[in-house]
Amino acid sequence: MTKIVRVGVTFPPELLKEFDEITNKMGYKSRSKAIQDAVHLYVSEKKWLKEETVNQTGILVMVYNHDVKGLERDLTETQHHHSPLISSTMHIHLGTQDCLEAIAVKGKASEIRHLSNKLTTKKGVKILKTIIVSG
């Protein structure tokens, strides 16, 4: 049987209240189990960051303002430059200014991270989330 280690964690009251509300709604009977699952998800989500040469598969989800001058050209050029990593893209119009782009990627973790960083730092990119689903 795996040994369990007890740790203490401090939370701002509002964060803990929100956490408890969400986990109760999800049906968790134990705060410990919910925290374990949250930490497990965090670790699995971030683990790829240290695996430089391991091939990974995932999605870059990006929301940007297409009215920013030159942004769409810059995004396209960046994606073309990294085309060996990109399997597919999907573009969705969210409104009069904002677009969502989902970019399926497959390649070395370091190269995916480089592409993610190049895209997220462009003026007009509101958010970019990298989701790695396999190693």
Whether 2 is covered by a domain: the verdict is: no
The DSSP output letter for 8 is -
CA distance linking residue 25 with residue 35, whole number of Å:
15
Let me know whether 87 and 61 are in one domain: yes
Let me know whether 85 and 43 are in one domain: no
- Quote the pLDDT of residue 1: 66
Let me know whether 31 and 75 are in one domain: no
Range of the domain at 37: 13-48
Beta bridge partner(s), residue 59: 104, 131
Mean pLDDT of 120-130: 94
Identify the CATH number of the domain in which residue 97 sits: 3.30.70.1150
Q: Please provide residue 60's backbone torsions phi and psi, each rounded to the nearest 5 degrees.
A: -100, 120
Split into its structural domains, the chain has a count of 2
| Per-residue pLDDT tens digits for 23-47 | 999 999 999 999 999 888 887 777 7
CA distance linking residue 24 with residue 16, whole number of Å:
12
Let me know whether 79 and 38 are in one domain: no
Evaluate if pTM is beyond 0.85: no
Q: Find out whether 127 and 62 touch, Cβ atoms under 8 Å.
A: yes
